[in-house]
Amino acid sequence: MNESEPETTPPQPEKKYGIMAGVLYGIGCGIGGSIFVLLSTGIEIAGPGVLISLFLGGILIFLTALNYSELSTSLPISGGAYNFSKEGIGGFSAFIIGFFLLIANVATCSFSAQALTIIIIQLYPSLKPNSLFIAIAAVLLTSIVFFKTQRFAIRTLIILTISVIVIFSVFVISGLFISPTTNPSGYNPAYLTTDIKFLGMIQMFALLFIFFTSITSNLAYFNVDLRNPSKNIPKVNIIAILLTLIIYLMVTFVVLINLGTREATLGASPVLLAEILLDILGPVGFYMMGIAMIISTLIAMNAALGSATSLLQALARDHYVPEKFEELNEKKTVPIYSLMMTTLLSLIITFLAVNFSDIGFTAEITTFIYFFGLAFVNFAAVNLRYKRKALDRPFKAPFFPYLPIFVGSTCLILAFVLEPAAIILGSILFIFAILYYSLTIADRYSIIITIAGMKFVCVVIVGMLIWSLNNIIVINANIQGFEIFFRSVLLRILIAICIFTICSIFLDIIPIREIVYYLIKKVDRERVAIDIGTGQIIELDKTESSLISKAN
């Protein structure tokens, strides 16, 4: 009698989350370090109009959430916004959107690490020489927490979010009811009636949109784990955005009526909320808000790193990046190589930003990338509705197709309201993504054409350089005879390189083999082995084939 193999119990699916957990997760992702670090800049540039900027940002992200809800309920699988784009647009466009959203999440993690560093230095000024170490340690700590499985990370995030909401409630109550007694010199509701800076309001509408970007983008990944997703996804998205917007507006309102004499030094107040609570409640209030700042930035880093990791895993699943990034660790819970790569990218961006830039620029480039990603996700919603009409849609966004087109177009317009440097860097990243796709994913002919295009651009640049050196720029050299050597020898070498490159571009487009075949058909038709209509096969010996291959 043969013994049957023992039955194995299939692994149970991960326990799903309810509406409350989803809403708290969304709020936690929304309230990052940006409100603490950038609010003072927003008030300085827009004045009381910053309330309108935040309200408009909330409306825009709310409209985006309607489209996200339709996409999430229609395609409740891993990959979030990238997956929507892949199904709705597909191919090259899906990769570009996935790449942009990956960089946006990594940049958000870096931005939050920088915000955390600024906050800690303001609380403990003696740590300023260690700012780079603090930022890098924050990224590494977040990565370790996420490695303890996503379940642990999400539970931690929700608990921390509740703590932040409690502290914000204390801030609002203190600013409205206690401040008139304990801070009479700073309590000034009349500030709300001062002139609104319209241009500044529009500019801050674009910049402060980073307050909201993490809500929809991170919920798109979390929605897969919701119970009864067809009903709960729209509820979670809408409630999380509305509550986050209310929190932002109430906190900003309290800040505006308690500015007092701080209006003149807003640019130098990276911890404005803590300073205002210091005026109202004393040192206890200052350190209480400091704790909220640290918690919020850690939440944002946790969510951003988790979303970036899931996104890289989805790109690997669809063969846009090496399949190694899809592999899970031994416990089958975390894509370990994706986590390592996103952590490394976050560390690199953090290192460069801390040493060579500032947090404002990081916010600008992050917002620029998010605007582009959100725009194309909205366009994907339109395309998906027409492309897959039979797809089950438990929730449908209203005013189709006008709503997603309006939201997508608005995002594209706002992207170009930001700083020119951020736009330039974002464009460079876009070009890099195109080159990566063309050189690693596209077919062989597309790769050859891409290389030819790159060589053409190089020829144009070198040609302009040669012309400038020869006609405009005056060369000053201490070495006798260097100018003659430069013009007579070096410039001619550059010209020769350009000519050679132009020839190679021509051969990239029309290979030598095709030229040889054409000449043989005209000169030596006897070597045409098979001639069927327009189709012809020409036989070459091994030596000729080898020479053509090497020359080409």
pLDDT at 388: 79
Together in a domain, 256 and 324: yes
Together in a domain, 410 and 383: yes
pLDDT at 213: 85
Q: How many domains does the chain have?
A: 2
Taking only Cα atoms into account, the Rg of the chain, rounded to an integer number of angstroms, comes to: 29
Together in a domain, 245 and 124: yes
In this structure, is residue 349 part of a structural domain? yes
Phi/psi for 538 (5° steps) reads -115, 130
Query: Which is nearest to 414 in space by CA: 367, 472, 463, 455?
Result: 367
Question: CA-CA distance, 244 to 28, in Å (whole number)?
Answer: 9
505: which residues sit within 8 A by CB, 6+ positions away? 452, 455, 456, 459
In this structure, is residue 518 part of a structural domain? no
Render each residue's pLDDT in the chain as its tens digit; 552 residues: 444 444 444 444 455 788 999 999 999 888 888 888 888 888 888 889 999 999 999 999 999 888 888 888 887 665 567 877 777 667 777 888 888 889 989 999 999 999 889 888 888 888 888 999 999 999 998 888 887 766 556 788 888 899 999 999 999 999 999 999 998 888 888 888 887 888 889 889 888 898 898 888 888 778 878 888 888 999 999 999 999 999 999 999 999 998 876 666 655 567 888 889 988 999 999 889 989 988 888 888 888 888 888 889 888 888 888 888 988 877 667 888 999 999 999 999 999 888 887 788 888 888 988 888 888 888 888 888 887 777 778 888 888 888 999 999 999 888 888 888 888 888 888 888 888 877 776 655 556 666 666 667 777 777 777 776 666 555 555 555 656 666 677 777 777 777 777 777 666 666 666 666 566 565 555 555 445 445 455 555 556 555 555 555
Domain boundary among 388, 423, 440: 440
Together in a domain, 476 and 431: no
Domain boundary among 494, 509, 524: 509
pLDDT at 3: 45
Contact (Cβ atoms closer than 8 angstroms) between residue 312 and residue 323: no
Neighbouring-strand partners of residue 530: 537
In this structure, is residue 209 part of a structural domain? yes
Bond before 322 cis per omega within 30 degrees: no
Together in a domain, 227 and 305: yes
Together in a domain, 315 and 429: yes
Together in a domain, 504 and 490: yes
Together in a domain, 456 and 386: no
Together in a domain, 432 and 468: no
pLDDT at 330: 73
Q: How far is CA 18 from CA 15, 25, 222, 262, in A?
A: 10, 11, 11, 43
Per-position DSSP letters for 461-488, written without gaps between them: HHHHHHHHHHHTPPP--SSTTHHHHIII
Domain boundary among 440, 466, 501: 440
Contact (Cβ atoms closer than 8 angstroms) between residue 415 and residue 368: yes
Would you say the C-alpha torsion 281, 282, 288, 290 has a positive or negative sign? positive
Query: Which is nearest to 107 in space by CA: 467, 363, 397, 391?
Result: 363
> Which residue pairs, CB below 8 angstroms and at least 24 apart, start in 381-385?
381/67, 381/70, 381/71, 381/84, 381/88, 382/88, 383/88, 383/89, 384/71, 384/74, 384/84, 384/87, 384/88
pLDDT at 270: 74
pLDDT at 255: 92
Question: CA-CA distance, 233 to 223, in Å (whole number)?
Answer: 6
Compute how many other C-beta atoms are within 10 angstroms of the C-beta atom of residue 475: 10
pLDDT at 62: 93
Together in a domain, 177 and 232: yes
Together in a domain, 327 and 464: no
pLDDT at 134: 92
In this structure, is residue 330 part of a structural domain? yes
pTM of this structure: 0.78
In this structure, is residue 529 part of a structural domain? no
Q: How far is CA 347 from CA 78, 140, 305, 306, in A?
A: 25, 8, 11, 15
Together in a domain, 372 and 305: yes
Work out the widest C-alpha separation in the chain, in whole angstroms. Answer: 105
Output the domain CATH number for residue 184. Answer: 1.20.1740.10
In this structure, is residue 541 part of a structural domain? no
In this structure, is residue 537 part of a structural domain? no
In this structure, is residue 435 part of a structural domain? yes
Q: Could you list the residue range(s) of the whole structural domain that residue 211 is in?
A: 19-440
Per-position DSSP letters for 345-385, written without gaps between them: HHHHHHHHHHHHS-HHHHHHHHHHHHHHHHHHHHHHHHHHH
